[in-house]
Amino acid sequence: MTDPDTLLTQALERARVAPDDEALRALDREFLQKGGVVANLLASIPTLPPDQRKATGQKANQIKQALEAALAARKAELEEAALASERSGAGFDATLPGAKQERGGLHPITQVTRELEDLFTSMGWMVLDGPEVELDWYNFEALNIPRDHPARDMQDTFFCDVSTKTRTSATSPARSSCARTPRPSRCVRWSA
């Protein structure tokens, strides 16, 4: 077995000159983790003569504490150096174009709607989009909704002028709009 003082000296020197975090992690695995040098030293204590056990255990704990402190100090030094390097602006070229902005994607409902529209059009159906602003006739009268019906209340309908208003429902006015022009009989309309 290697002398604990020699182990400590070697480990501290390697921690002091570790070039990066990966070297620090390798040193931690080699000395401190399960199956490492310190763990093996602690595991060998029961096989030692009784008069050497206490000293060996204390030495193993000293190595562990000293190495943990050295690894933490070196990690802090490396992080400080990396931060200083970033702040110095070394390697920064102001003439290069900026990083490309990530573009957004379609909303999942929009994606599913387009997939369903593609499905129906592949089966011979036609996707029908009616106007967003509709005449009173197509919105109410053609659907046999009387003038005193609650759907015609001011709070339920946005009136553009006396005879036009925003479409209050989707399918029926669109169907009425479809009836005005010759179209195939198989139409699909997505209600918003």
Mean pLDDT of all residues belonging to the chain: 80
Amino acid at 4: P
User: Using a CB cutoff of 8 Å and minimum separation of 24, what contacts does 7-11 make?
Assistant: 7/31, 7/37, 7/41, 7/63, 8/62, 8/63, 8/66, 8/67, 11/37, 11/63, 11/67, 11/70
Domain range summary for the chain, segments of one domain joined by +: 4-85, 108-188
Which has more pLDDT, 143 or 81?
Answer: 81
Q: What is the band of 192 on the pLDDT scale with cuts at 50, 70, 90?
A: very low
* pLDDT at res. 48: 87
Residue 152 β-bridge partners: none
- Please give the structure tokens belonging to residue 87: 């702040």
Number of C-alpha atoms within 13 angstroms, CB side, residue 181? 7
- pLDDT tens by residue, 49-90: 888 888 888 888 888 898 899 999 999 999 998 888 888 877
Closest CA to 157 of 139, 184, 131: 139
* pLDDT at res. 115: 94
- pLDDT tens by residue, 144-163: 888 888 777 765 666 666 66
| 72 alpha carbon, distance to own chain's centre | 30
Number of C-alpha atoms within 13 angstroms, CB side, residue 77? 13
